Structure 1
Amino acid sequence: MVKHIDIKLGGSTATLSRSDVLVALKPEPGHSRSFEAEVNSIELRGRGARRGTVGGYQVVELPIAPTKRRAAREDLGRMVSMQRQIAVYHTSEDNVPFVPTGTIYMSFREGTDQASVNLILQEHSLVVVKAERGGFITVGTRADPLEACSMLQSNPAVEVAEPDLVTPKQPANILLPEDRLFGRHWHLNNIGKHDGQTTGLKAGADARVVEAWYALGSLGSDSVVIGIVDDGFDLSHPYLRGKALLSWDFERNAPDVGQSDLAAGSRDWHGTACAGVAAGRVDAGDIVGAAPHARIMPARMGSDIDSEKLARIFDYMTDNGAWVVNCSWGPKAARYPIGRRVSDAISRCFREGRGGLGIPVLFAAGNRNTSINDETNFNGLAAHPDVVVVSSSTSLDQRSDTSNYGSEIWLCAPSSGGGGWTIATSDVTGSWTDAVGTVRPRGHSSSDHHEYFGGTSSSCALVAGICALVLSAAPRLGASELRAILQRTARRIGDAGAYVPDGHSIHFGFGCVDAAAAVAAARASLTG
C-alpha cells in the first residue's frame, strides 16, 4: 500500500507518496565498481531494473509481484558495496522521483532551552553535523527522514524540520515541441488525459520519450540514421522534408522512393507513417517523432517480399551507414521460413554494420493475435536470433488485443489496441482524381497527418526512434549492448504472472520500452 506523508516545506504542506516499487541505493565510497557489479547481478536475475541516478543514488525498480519484491529486498540487504538504501517518493502522478538524502534542516523556536533541544535530538536519534545561518543540519540514524520530519514538525518547540530532497532537474535548453498534435502523442508522454478526455488513457502508460529528451538535453542527434525498409515515402512531406539520405527504391532500382501507381489511388503510404513515428520533424506543423533530429535512410521494397531484393536491402543498410534498421511489416503467409541468403544479410547487418559496432535490426511482431512460432505459424524474419521483435501495448498499459506474441518477442511499445487510443503520424500529402472525376486523397486522409495509425507497425517504429535516442547518448554503443540495455531497462507491465522466471513474457517480451531508462543506462556504460 502506498504511504502518504504530509510535510511542511517552506510554509506550505506537501504530500509525498512513498513508491511501492522504487528504492534508491547509494554505493560505499570507493566501491563504485563492485556496486555496479552487484546491481548488474540483481538486474540479470530479474530482481530489479535501473531507473537512472538521482543525486548520487541509483534508483532501482523492484518486481511487481510481492513474493519477488520481498526476494529482491533481501538481495539488496545482502549488498556489501551499498552504503545506504532509502525509499523513493513522488509529489504527483508524474512519478518523478524525490530521494531523501538523509540530512534534515532544523531550527527551534525562540526561547527553547538547550536541555529541551538535546532531548528532542536524542529522542529522534539525530546528530548535528553542520551549523548554518538560521539553523543547523542533522543526520538521522534510524527513521526515514520524512517520517522523522513529520514527527518533529508536530513538536511545538520545533520551528523548522525539513528533509533535504534531491530530484531531477528539467534542463532549460529543452523546448518541448509546439506541434499542434503534440499533446495527442500519448505514446511519448501519457499524462492520463488529452483535451479534457481521460477515457482510454492511463498516466505513465508511455515510452518515457519526453523524459529521455530531458535526460539527453536535446531531441537527439542528427548524426544518427534510421534505415526504414517499407513501401512508399513522401519525402516532400513537411514532417520528413530534408531528413532523408541515400534513399533507394529496390523495386524500381531508382533513388525515387515515392508512391507507385498514384493514378489508381494506391495505399502505398505505410513508409511515410512509420517514418513520422520514428523521426518526424519538430515544429513542422502537427506531429513529431520520437527522434525528431535523426536522419532517415528510406528503402522502398514494394508490395512483395523478394528474398533477393531483401538481402540487397540489408547489405545496403550495412554498407551505407545506417545506425538502426526498422522493418514494420511481416509475411502474409502463416509459415514463412527464410533462406540462408536473407539470414546471412541480417546477421551481417547486425554484426558488421556501423564499422563493426553492429546495427540493431527491428521487426514488428504483426497484428493477427497469433503466435509467431508454433505448430501452425512461423515468421522466420522475427525468429532470426539477431532481430529485436516488437509487440504492442495500449494507452492503458495493457496488451494490444491484435498484437502477435511468442517467445521471440523482445519487448513491447505503446500503440493502438482495444480500449485505448491510436497514434497520430504523418500521412502522404496531395490528391488524385479517379475515373469519374472524384478527387481523392493520395494518402489515408485528406490532411497531411493520419490520426488512426497503430499496431505493431507503429510500436516497432517507435522503438527505432528510441534506439536513435540511445545512440545519441552513446554513439559507440554496440548493437548487442543496445539490445541488452533495451532488455534490462524495459518497464514491466501487465500481470506479474505473465512473466516467467527469467523475466520474459510471450506478450510483452522483457517489458515496455523505457526510453529514459535506456538513455541513462547507455550514458552509464560510458563510465563503466
Structure 2
Amino acid sequence: MSEQVKLKYGGQTLTLARSERLVAVKPRPGMEVFMERAIDALPRAQTSKDAERLILGGFQVVEAGATAAESSKGLEQLRRDPAVAIGSHVYHTSNDGVPFVPTGEVYVEFKPETSSDQKEEIFDRYKLQIVEARGNNALIAKTTPDSPNPVKVAAELQEQSVVEFAEPDLATPGRLKAFALPADDLLQDQWHLENKGVHRGQTVFIKAGADARVIAAWREVETLGSPDVILAVIDDGFDLAHPDLSESGVTVGAWDFTRRTNKPTPDPRSEDWHGTACAGVALGRANGSGIVGAAPGVALMPIRWGPDLSDRQVEAWFAYVRDKGAWILSCSWGAAAANFPLGRRRELAIADCARNGRSGKGCVILFAAGNSNHDINEPEAGTVDGFAIHPDVIAVSASNSRDQRSNYSNFGKEIWICAPSNGAGGWGIVTADVTGFVLIDGVQSPLGYDPGDYTYEFGGTSSACPLVAGVCALILSSNPNLTAAEVREILRETARQIGDGYDEHGHSIHFGYGCVDAQAAVRKAIGSGVEVAAA
C-alpha cells in the first residue's frame, strides 16, 4: 500500500496517496534538454509518453517505475542529476489516477493571537521562505532545499496550536466540463431533435437543419430540463412501465379520469397507444437506451382523459392539472366533430388554467391543430376547432423532415407555431410505444403501434404538439419566472421561418410564426426582456 498523508484541506479531510509510478522534476534554468536525457536514462519498466509531456506547476511528471520502490529509486537518481533543480513525489486523491504535484508553496494562516516570535520560530524550524504576505496573519511561504517536502510541512503545521490553516499548493490538471449529451441509442434516429441530413443511412426525404434545434438547446443551457418543471400530458393512456417513461425521471399527479384511479394505463381493447407516444416525444427519459424526449429532465404528469368532452369532464381535467401544479399542458386531441366551437364553461376552464395556474404565472397550454388539412376556424365551411383557437392556447401545426408543410396539417390564422413531424415526402418520428403483449379472445398480440418498445412511424400534429411542449419545458427550466404569456411570446419571436406565405406581421396560416427553434428560445429566455403585446 502506498504512503498516505491526511490533510485538512478545503474544509474536508483529504487523503493524499503517494503515487507508485509517477514522480515530478523541475529543471534548472537552461537545463531542460539535459533533464530530458536524465529522464531517458531511467531504467524504468514502462514509459508513459502522455505523462512525460504533462507539466504541472513547472514540474514535469515522469513515470519513474512500475512499483513504489522503483519510482522512489528513480526519483533519487533524478535528484542527483545536476540538471534537476527539484524532485518531488506525486500524489493522488482517489483511484482515478489524476496526479497532484506540490509546487513548493504553502499557505499559512496564523490565529490572531499569535505573536511575531512564534511565527518566526515556526518559519525558522521548517526553513521556509516568505513569498507573500496576505494581511497580518496570513502568509504564502515556499520550501527551501533544507525544508521537508511541502506536504509534510503542511501536515505538521496543521498540528500547531497557533496555526489556523496550513495548505500546500497542489498543481493538478483541469478538465473542461463539456455538457454530455444523452447516450440513448435511438437518439441518432431522432432527426426532429437534430437533423444532419441523414436518417437511418438514407439521404433522401430529409434536409439538414430541418429540426427543432433541441440538441443545440441542451448544449446552450447545459441541461435536459429541471425536475421542478411539471409537464402534463392529457391523452388516452400511458405505459408508465416503459423504460423511457419510468426510469431516471419524476412522475407526479398521475390520474385516470375514466377509471378514477391513479394508474392511467392504456386499455388494450381501445388501443390506447397515443399517450405513451406523445409523452415519449415530450420527455422520454435519458437513460442510456431507447429514445429521448425534448425535455427528458422534467417531471411528467400523465392524465388519462375521461369518457367524453362534456363541460364537466373538460372542467375537471383542467382544474386538476392546475391544482396539482402543472406548468405546461400538452393536448394532442380535439373533438371528433369538425365543427366544435367551445361552450362558455370549457372556454373559462381553459382560460383559468392558462391565466391563474402556476401561482398566477399561468400554465402554458398547447393543442395540436389536427390532421384533416382544413382551416381550424372557418364556420362557413363547418370546420371550427374550439380548443385550438382558444385565445390562451398555443396551436401547433406540423412540418416534415424537409422543412415543408406536412400535407395533412390543419391551418388557419390561429396557428401559432409549427414543429417537425411526419408528412408526405418526409420521415416519421421514432418514439416510445406501449410495451408487452395482450391476450384477447385467445389470440396473443403485441401492444402498441408496432411490435417492440418503439415505433418509427409516429407523427401528425399529435407529435408536433408535445415536441413544442418539451421546448416550453426547456424555456421554463432556463427561466422559471416567465409567465405563460411570455413563453408564448418567446416562441413567436424566436421561431425560424420556413416555407413562404408570411404576412406583414411575420405570420403564416400554415406555419404560424415559423418552426420552433429551441436553441433560440432558451437563449431568449435566459436573456429575458420579453415584451408581451396587448391582446
* Interval of TM-score (by shorter of Structure 1 and Structure 2): 0.5 to 0.7
CA distance in 2, matches of 1:527, 1:270: 35
Tell me the equivalent position of 2:88.
Answer: none
Segment drifting more, 313-322 vs 363-372: 313-322
Does 1:523 find its partner at 2:529? no
State the 4+ residue runs in structure 1 displaced beyond 6 angstroms.
none
Tell me the equivalent position of 1:480.
Answer: 485
Opposite residue 247 of structure 1, the aligned amino acid is A
Match of 2:315 among 311, 315, 318: 311
Contact 1:474 1:526 survives alignment (8 Å) = no
Match of 1:188 among 193, 196, 199: 193
Q: Alpha-carbon deviation of 1:526?
A: 6.8
CA distance in 2, matches of 1:394, 1:304: 31
Tell me the equivalent position of 1:257.
Answer: 264
Opposite residue 385 of structure 1, the aligned amino acid is P
CA distance in 2, matches of 1:270, 1:244: 18
Tell me the equivalent position of 1:459.
Answer: 464
Match of 1:344 among 330, 345, 348: 348
Tell me the equivalent position of 2:333.
Answer: 329
Matches within 5 A, 1:256-405: 256-260=263-267, 262=268, 264=269, 266-302=270-306, 304-374=308-378, 375=380, 376-405=382-411
Q: Percent identity?
A: 53
Segment drifting more, 281-290 vs 223-232: 281-290
Tell me the equivalent position of 2:433.
Answer: 427
Q: Alpha-carbon deviation of 1:432?
A: 1.1
Tell me the equivalent position of 2:44.
Answer: none
Deviations 1:484-515 (A, max 9, x none): 110011000002xx101111100000000000
Deviations 1:299-348 (A, max 9, x none): 11145323211111111111111010110111110100211111111111
SS in 1 for 2:349: helix
Opposite residue 517 of structure 1, the aligned amino acid is A
Deviations 1:197-237 (A, max 9, x none): 11111011000000100111121111111011101111111
CA distance in 2, matches of 1:268, 1:196: 32
SS in 1 for 2:377: coil
Does 1:506 find its partner at 2:519? no
TM (norm. structure 2) is 0.64
SS in 2 for 1:389: strand
Opposite residue 299 of structure 2, the aligned amino acid is R
Match of 1:245 among 244, 249, 252: 252
Deviations 1:123-182 (A, max 9, x none): xxxxxxxxxxxxxxxxxxxxxxxxxxxxxxxxxxxxxxxxxxxxxxxx843212221211
Match of 1:446 among 431, 443, 451: 451
| Shift in CA distance, 526/218, structure 1 to aligned 2, threshold 3 Å | farther
Q: Alpha-carbon deviation of 1:243?
A: 3.1
Q: Alpha-carbon deviation of 1:377?
A: 0.5
| Shift in CA distance, 473/305, structure 1 to aligned 2, threshold 3 Å | same
Structure 2 unmatched ranges of 5 or more: 1-175
Higher relative contact order (CA 8 A, sep 6+): 1
Contact 2:306 2:313 survives alignment (8 Å) = no
Q: Alpha-carbon deviation of 1:353?
A: 0.8
Matches within 5 A, 1:71-86: none
CA distance in 1, matches of 2:492, 2:515: 9
Q: Alpha-carbon deviation of 1:450?
A: 1.1
Contact 1:238 1:284 survives alignment (8 Å) = no
Q: Alpha-carbon deviation of 1:461?
A: 0.4
Does 1:211 find its partner at 2:216? yes
Opposite residue 382 of structure 1, the aligned amino acid is A
CA distance in 2, matches of 1:522, 1:440: 46
Q: Alpha-carbon deviation of 1:368?
A: 0.5
Q: CA RMSD in A?
A: 1.6
CA distance in 1, matches of 2:307, 2:197: 38
| Shift in CA distance, 456/175, structure 1 to aligned 2, threshold 3 Å | same
Aligned length: 353
Opposite residue 357 of structure 1, the aligned amino acid is K
SS in 1 for 2:427: coil
Q: Alpha-carbon deviation of 1:284?
A: 4.7
CA distance in 1, matches of 2:392, 2:272: 29
Matches within 5 A, 1:50-89: none
Contact 1:231 1:303 survives alignment (8 Å) = no
CA distance in 2, matches of 1:253, 1:324: 22
Q: Alpha-carbon deviation of 1:194?
A: 2.6
CA distance in 2, matches of 1:269, 1:196: 28
Deviations 1:263-291 (A, max 9, x none): x3x31111110000000001252111000
| Shift in CA distance, 512/247, structure 1 to aligned 2, threshold 3 Å | same
Match of 1:471 among 466, 471, 476: 476
SS in 2 for 1:205: coil
Contact 2:185 2:288 survives alignment (8 Å) = no
SS in 2 for 1:348: helix
CA distance in 2, matches of 1:399, 1:459: 12
SS in 2 for 1:239: helix
CA distance in 2, matches of 1:303, 1:192: 42
TM (norm. structure 1) is 0.65
Contact 2:486 2:530 survives alignment (8 Å) = no
Tell me the equivalent position of 1:24.
Answer: none
CA distance in 2, matches of 1:273, 1:527: 33
Match of 2:203 among 177, 189, 198: 198
Structure 1 or 2, whichever has the larger Rg, is 2
Q: Alpha-carbon deviation of 1:292?
A: 0.7
Match of 1:491 among 490, 496, 517: 496
SS in 1 for 2:395: strand
SS in 1 for 2:438: strand
| Shift in CA distance, 172/303, structure 1 to aligned 2, threshold 3 Å | farther
SS in 2 for 1:344: helix
Contact 2:244 2:292 survives alignment (8 Å) = yes
CA distance in 2, matches of 1:415, 1:230: 18
Matches within 5 A, 1:54-203: 172-203=177-208
Opposite residue 316 of structure 1, the aligned amino acid is Y
Tell me the equivalent position of 2:173.
Answer: none
Opposite residue 524 of structure 1, the aligned amino acid is G
Q: Alpha-carbon deviation of 1:196?
A: 2.8
